[in-house]
Structure 1
Amino acid sequence: MSFNVQINRLAGNEDIELPRKMSELASGFDLYAAVTEDIVFLPGQRGLVPTGLAIAMPAGLEAQIRPRSGLAFKHGITCLNTPGTIDADYRGEIKVLLINLGEEPFTIKRNERIAQMVFQIVPEVNLIPVDELSDTERGAGGFGHTGKN
């Protein structure tokens, strides 16, 4: 199954790499920073990093923005709202909300890989109001209800 997703480099970003998979079986397309000058994230600091790109997806798809594992492990750089969701009807610039959870300042440079974009199929779901729900063994047991760590 394949889908066509249109991608547009926004004006002034002709040098920005298009998202690409870094291996044959990768599920995510790496996204690149379209900053006009270096951004330094101090420990605990968060901010939006532009990609210089916009996309048009067909109905029934979403794009999820996820952290890059290498940045997270080596530097504590991650996406604050992960996964971030891009809906099929959004046509604005893709921006990545990053946070530095590391102990050292981290610099983002133009055309540096900052996150990955994974496409997912979105099922059509009908919510049906009812007066009560069926019982299950778990019931309303929530956070930590099994006693496991």
Structure 2
Amino acid sequence: MKKLILISFIACGLLIACHSAKKTTTANGADTTVLAGTWQLSYVAGSSTSFDSLYVHKKPTISFDLTAKRVSGNSGCNSFNGPLNVSGHKISFAGLMAMTKMFCPGDGENVFMSNLQKVNSWSVSDGKTLTFIAGDIAIMRFEKQ
């Protein structure tokens, strides 16, 4: 009887472990589930102004809803959202994005949004650093929130 109970527990444990390890992968093998959640900008290319000077009040964020295939976030001033266009490690934000229209002092929002339009691929390292790439150059980096 003890053997039967032990075998049942082991079988249940294996089933749970196999189920929780299941990943969402695309045709080219990229695990897109690592994108899920909210990320905060920690680096952006394309400005002669320091990063901290660009985003004095609020650092930009980006959030991915993989179930709804949507992306949303904040540019450091205005909120945006739109469709998520991701296939493997290829990603594009060139589609139609809805955005609020508040007045934003400084250049931070323009730098963020123009770089976002250039992104064509992504990578995640250590599960907590998201890098957006244009061609072969890392132009934006985010930390998992």
- TM bucket (normalised to shorter chain) is under 0.3
| TM-score, length basis structure 2 | 0.28
| TM-score, length basis structure 1 | 0.27
Structure showing greater relative contact order (alpha-carbon pairs closer than 8 Å, 6 or more residues apart): 1
More helix per residue: 1 or 2?
A: 2
